């Protein structure tokens, strides 16, 4: 039955690919990232810029996408949303997210960041452009299907290659580390008092799953900001909440022992395998394996705030992300019969929280985080790039007095209500000039356990979160695309090559 289902999926995928090819240039772009990386904001800004780029309200204004060549050269004709191809996937709520950024009901004081990604969604954008001169100039179209999904789900894909015993061993080893052990104490203590060979108890399974989920949730908190936390649906269950597929936990078991069918160990293993079969594999088959291009958004600043342990954990998570990609060069055969991701962009988000003099250092840190995994991907022909960006720029730059010393390079914005620097707590309404500090020249410094006790000038930073910027409106009252940092560079890398 499973083989027949897989063959049926392949046949449908081939048919859809042929339809896409007949309709012109088509790209299926995956947008992912771990929690709070800015996926929703990125997609909202992408749509807002590309649907408004040729609007009459922007005529005479400075080009806001100078690196996106089709627009810089005046060849972009229009961009418009169209019905998405997958009727069984929720539509990305662009209009709702745009209103959140600009203020509910058009009131700027109500502007907030959109709700974060908690499930898969999709939206289709059709771009009309003028092809350059040459053998076949003329009007062309690029269909961009954008698939938004939680990065936590991507970290589940390596589970397909792991047995329950191996996953349990890996999870328990991670939980015993110095940084995680206090967070895992209650869950580990509960499981240590259970005999894996004893008769299965639903109450024990439910309690173990609850404590395991609480441990994962604590690891994800701002104080720790750990990233490698599979299974992803434990933190984002959706309609699976309370189901047996999420009612299991790692156990300390003997991988060489056969446990009775009605034992706690056997039932936990059965549910783990059900999670792989009914949750992980369908996501890979129905969505992930169909992607052509991919952007992975990374909130490196949150990990930097949390310290070296969080940075090392982020490095592990990004390595797992890259091993999941079916990367390689695309051609006409692979596009139809076995799509492969041929371009992957890693983007360190929230670059607007730093002065531009630190952007290169932020990129260097992200490049260091992904270096080993990127080499493996490049070996099979995929093109990979790393950038620092802000899909929506919430700050502007200025120099402020350095209390008797030299002027400091600062950013000015409205910190979120409750954000704190030292004894100062912000109210979410008042602008402030913030000196975020400077990232170290050596990216390896952020991994050193010395942390904030490192040598002077080596580690010196602290970031706060800002509210969205005040919306800019045209003469007709319509909201203009928000300011950004290097969003155009991301566009050019991800799909600009298809619009020559």
Whether residue 185 is found in the same domain as residue 270: yes
* Whether 216 and 331 share a structural domain: no
The reply to whether 11 falls in a domain is no
Residues 182 and 59 placed together within one structural domain of the fold = no
Percent of the chain with pLDDT over 90: 57
Quick one: pLDDT band at residue 116, thresholds 50, 70, 90? confident
Query: Residue range 365-392: average pLDDT?
Result: 85
Q: In which region does residue 307 sit, left (phi positive, over 0), alpha (psi from -120 to 50) or beta (all else)?
A: left
Task: Please indicate, yes or no, whether residues 271 and 300 belong to a single structural domain of this protein.
Answer: no
Q: Are the CB atoms for 150 and 118 separated by under 8 Å?
A: yes
Mean pLDDT of 147-156: 88
pLDDT band at 217 (very low <50, low <70, confident <90, very high): very high
Domain shared by 401 and 374, yes or no: no
Q: Do 345 and 490 have their domain in common?
A: yes
Would you say how long the chain is, in residues? 500
Number of helices (H), then strands (E), belonging to the chain: the values are 15, 14
Question: For the segment 162-194, what is each residue's pLDDT rounded down to a tens digit?
Answer: 999 999 999 999 999 999 999 999 999 999 999
With respect to residue 352, please indicate whether it lies within any of the assigned structural domains.
Answer: yes
pLDDT at position 380 is 64
- For the ranges 55-69, 168-182, 316-330, 377-391, the lowest mean pLDDT is seen at 316-330
What percentage of the chain reaches a pLDDT higher than 70?
Answer: 87
Q: What is the mean pLDDT of residues 346-354?
A: 96
Report the mean per-residue pLDDT for the chain.
Answer: 86
Sign of CA dihedral 110, 425, 42, 478: positive
**Interval 437-443 mean pLDDT:** 89
The answer to whether residues 241 and 254 belong to one domain is yes
Average pLDDT over residues 277-304: 90
Lowest mean pLDDT among 100-114, 209-223, 374-388, 464-478: 374-388
Question: How big is the CA angle at 77 (ends 31 and 139), to the nearest 5 degrees?
Answer: 100
315: domain range?
A: 25-149+292-393+485-499
118 pLDDT band (50/70/90 cuts)?
confident
Assess whether pLDDT exceeds 50 at residue 492: yes
Q: How far apart are the first and last CA of the chain?
A: 45
Q: How many CB atoms lie within 10 A of CB 6?
A: 12
Of 283, 301, 326, the position where a domain reaches its end is 283
| Residue where one domain finishes, among candidates 246, 262, 283 | 283
258 within domain boundaries: yes
Classify residue 119: in a domain, yes or no. yes
pLDDT band for 456, please (50, 70, 90 cuts): very low
pLDDT at 246 over 60: yes
Give me the pLDDT at residue 157, please: 86
Spatial distance between the Cα atoms of 163 and 72, rounded to a whole number of angstroms: 52
* CA-CA-CA-CA dihedral for 484, 394, 308, 171, to nearest 10: -80
Residues sharing a CB contact under 8 Å with residue 287, sequence separation 6 or more, in sequence order: 89, 120, 147, 149
Q: Domain for residue 417, yes or no? A: yes
Distance CA 50, CA 55 (A): 10
- On whether both 178 and 256 belong to a single domain, the answer is yes
Q: Please report the pLDDT score of residue 294 as a whole number.
A: 93
On whether both 92 and 67 belong to a single domain, the answer is: yes
Is the pLDDT reported for residue 36 higher than 80? yes
Taking the C-alpha atoms of residue 173 and residue 54, their distance in angstroms, rounded to an integer, is 54
Q: Which pLDDT belongs to residue 499?
A: 94
How many distinct structural domains can be found in the chain?
3
- The CATH number assigned to the domain holding 351 equals 3.40.50.300
Residue in 145, 142, 146 with CA at minimum distance from that of residue 68: 142
Average pLDDT over residues 144-167: 91
**Shared domain check, 59 and 90:** yes
CA dist 323 and 157 (Å) reads 9
In a domain, residue 14? The reply is no
Do 425 and 493 belong together in one domain?
Answer: no
Single residue among 257, 283, 309 that ends a domain in this structure: 283
429 within domain boundaries: yes
- Does one domain contain both 75 and 48? yes
| Beta strands in 284-342, from DSSP E residues, in sequence order | 293-298
Q: Give residue 199's Cα distance to chain centre.
A: 41
Burial of 473 (0-12, 13-18, 19+ CB in 10 A): middle
> Does residue 136 have a pLDDT over 80?
no
Q: Is residue 451 part of a domain?
A: yes
User: In sequence order, what are the beta bridge partners of 33?
Assistant: 297
Res 62: pLDDT: 77
pTM, to two decimals: 0.88
Q: Evaluate if residue 334 carries a pLDDT over 50.
A: no
341: pLDDT strictly greater than 70: yes
């Amino acid at each position: 039955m499973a083989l027949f289902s897989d063959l049926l999926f392949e046949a449908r995928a081939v048919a859809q690919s042929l339809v896409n090819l007949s309709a012109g240039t088509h790209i299926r772009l995956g947008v992912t990232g771990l929690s709070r990386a800015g996926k929703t904001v990125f997609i909202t800004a992408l749509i807002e810029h590309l649907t408004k780029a040729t609007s009459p309200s922007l005529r005479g204004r400075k080009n806001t996408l100078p690196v996106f060549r089709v627009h810089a050269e005046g060849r972009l004709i229009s961009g418009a949303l169209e019905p998405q191809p997958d009727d069984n996937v929720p539509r990305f709520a662009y209009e709702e997210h745009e209103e959140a950024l600009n203020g509910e009901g058009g009131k700027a004081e109500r502007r907030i960041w959109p709700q974060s990604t908690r499930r898969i969604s999709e939206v289709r954008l059709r771009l009309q452009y003028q092809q350059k001169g040459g053998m076949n100039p003329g009007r062309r179209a690029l269909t961009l299907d954008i698939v938004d999904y939680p990065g936590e789900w991507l970290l589940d894909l390596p589970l397909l290659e792991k047995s329950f015993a191996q996953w349990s061993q890996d999870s328990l080893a991670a939980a015993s580390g110095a940084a995680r052990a206090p967070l895992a104490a209650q869950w580990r203590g509960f499981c240590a008092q259970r005999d894996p060979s004893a008769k299965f108890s639903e109450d024990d399974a439910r309690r173990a799953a609850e404590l395991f989920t609480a441990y994962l949730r604590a690891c994800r908190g701002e104080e720790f900001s750990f990233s490698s936390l599979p299974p992803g649906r434990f933190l984002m269950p959706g309609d699976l909440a309370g189901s047996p597929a999420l009612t299991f936990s790692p156990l300390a078991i003997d991988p060489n022992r056969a446990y009775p069918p009605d034992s706690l160990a056997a039932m936990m293993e059965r549910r783990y395998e059900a999670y792989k079969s009914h949750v992980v594999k369908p996501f890979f088959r129905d969505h992930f394996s169909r992607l052509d291009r991919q952007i992975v958004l990374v909130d490196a600043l949150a990990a930097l705030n949390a310290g070296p342990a969080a940075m090392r954990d982020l490095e592990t998570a990004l390595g797992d992300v890259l091993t999941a990609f079916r990367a390689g060069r695309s051609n006409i055969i692979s596009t139809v019969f076995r799509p492969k991701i041929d371009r992957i962009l890693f983007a360190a988000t929230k670059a607007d929280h730093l002065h531009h003099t630190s952007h290169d250092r932020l990129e260097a840190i992200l490049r260091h985080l992904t270096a080993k995994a990127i080499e493996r991907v490049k070996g099979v022909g995929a093109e990979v790039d790393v950038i620092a960006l802000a899909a929506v720029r919430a700050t502007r730059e200025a120099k402020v007095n350095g209390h008797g010393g030299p002027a400091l390079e600062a950013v000015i914005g409205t910190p979120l209500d409750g954000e704190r620097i030292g004894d100062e707590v912000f109210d979410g309404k008042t602008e402030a000039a913030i000196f975020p500090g400077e990232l170290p020249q050596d990216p390896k410094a952020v991994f050193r356990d010395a942390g904030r006790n490192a040598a002077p000038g080596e580690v010196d930073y602290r970031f706060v979160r800002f509210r969205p910027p005040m919306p800019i409106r045209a003469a007709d009252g319509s909201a203009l695309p928000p300011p950004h940092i290097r969003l155009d560079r991301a566009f050019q890398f991800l799909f600009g090559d298809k619009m020559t």
